[in-house]
Structure 1
Amino acid sequence: MRKLKYTLLFLCCAFFSVKAGIKHPLHVSTTEVNFNAKDKTLEISCKIFSDDFEAILAKLYKQKTDLSNPNMKGTMDELVKKYLLSHLQLKANGKAVAMNYIGFEIDHEATNIYLEVEKVAAIKSVEVNDSILYDMFDDQMSIVHVVKGSNRKSTKILYPEKKFTANF
């Protein structure tokens, strides 16, 4: 009976914390890089908590942010592109590659961002330099996946580390 009381107390506190708008305690983003051999491209997707992402965009670029507001889509696209291209860099086979910003979409509490690298004939290695939200949190964690066919390499990068290299 005592255990049940503590469980109910915990659930009530958790519920009211969420209702009160208390921020989530976990600062994590994910980045996935997929090699598309058919199209000879690297397809990149990033997932970031929307509240954290809006906060860093507002802080850095000193303007109002609202990623879910359709009237601000053009402005938000520019800020998202600027931020991502300065906080995420890739090297394919030891050479820096230029990423093309495709766009973003809101998925519940997260923002998904899409980028692409064209004209990648083959992949032997991919180096990811990821500092997403490092200018906001010193406990930031980045989960990185690099996929080539059925071969998947994954890691967890903890602040202040930034780099991961996947060799195939």
Structure 2
Amino acid sequence: MQVLNTKFVTIILALIFFGGSKGEKHPLHVSTTEVNFNAKDKTLEVSCRIFSDDFEAILAKTYKQKTDLSNAAMKVAMDNLIKKYITTHLQLKTNGKPVTMVYVGFEIDHEATNIYLEVDKITAVKSLEVSDTILYDMFDDQMSIVHLVKGTTRKSTKILYPDKTFTANF
């Protein structure tokens, strides 16, 4: 059943992220977060995918300044805002202990923004907990799709506002 749900969610997200034409409003407020344990490098590789229009709007609202994620001249300023926002609204615990994520950067991919973070010096993962409130301060129908990956094991769920956490044991 979990595999069927994961495939269904993946298809829906593909339609949402890539199905609309430019300028068309998307019907759902959804973001995805994937945390992948890289045993070889002893790191957690974190990626988030958020609709760019929603993300720009929340950054402008939260930090009271102009935002334009696709403007190369504003890249440094946008990096600073994204880092501040994401590290406030996304937290991880590994084996029950909070870890500090290092912001790597972002890129625009069609109508979404991909954000990359990393956690170093993770020797083993028995459990992962994600606390995700991305866009909760803007939409009360926000859905967060979370994928936690260790080796060939992938655990996924959807978190619906106002819930915010998902824990997976490996």
TM norm structure 1: 0.88
What is the aligned counterpart of 1:85 among 69, 84, 87?
87
Q: Which residue in 2 is equivalent to 1:5?
A: none
C-alpha deviation, 1:37, in angstroms: 0.2
d(CA) in 2 for partners of 1:39, 1:113: 20
Q: Which residue in 2 is equivalent to 1:150?
A: 152
Q: Which residue in 2 is equivalent to 1:33?
A: 35
Q: Which residue in 2 is equivalent to 1:138?
A: 140
Secondary structure of 1:83's counterpart equals helix
Q: Is 2:79 the partner of 1:62?
A: no
Letter in 1 for 2:101: M
Secondary structure of 2:26's counterpart equals coil
Q: Which residue in 2 is equivalent to 1:159?
A: 161
Task: Give the gaps of 5 or more residues in structure 1.
Answer: 1-16
Matches for 1:2-151 after TM superposition, within 5 Å: 21=23, 23-151=25-153
Letter in 2 for 1:73: K
Secondary structure of 1:121's counterpart equals coil
TM norm structure 2: 0.87
d(CA) in 2 for partners of 1:45, 1:29: 11
What is the aligned-residue identity percentage?
A: 79
d(CA) in 1 for partners of 2:27, 2:65: 25
CA RMSD of aligned residues (A): 1.2
Q: Which residue in 1 is equivalent to 2:7?
A: none
C-alpha deviation, 1:25, in angstroms: 1.5
Secondary structure of 1:80's counterpart equals helix
Q: Which residue in 2 is equivalent to 1:3?
A: none
d(CA) in 2 for partners of 1:93, 1:24: 37
Choose 1 or 2 for highest CA Rg. Answer: 1
d(CA) in 2 for partners of 1:78, 1:119: 24
C-alpha deviation, 1:152, in angstroms: 0.3
C-alpha deviation, 1:18, in angstroms: 5.9
What is the total number of aligned residue pairs between the two structures?
A: 151
C-alpha deviation, 1:22, in angstroms: 5.1
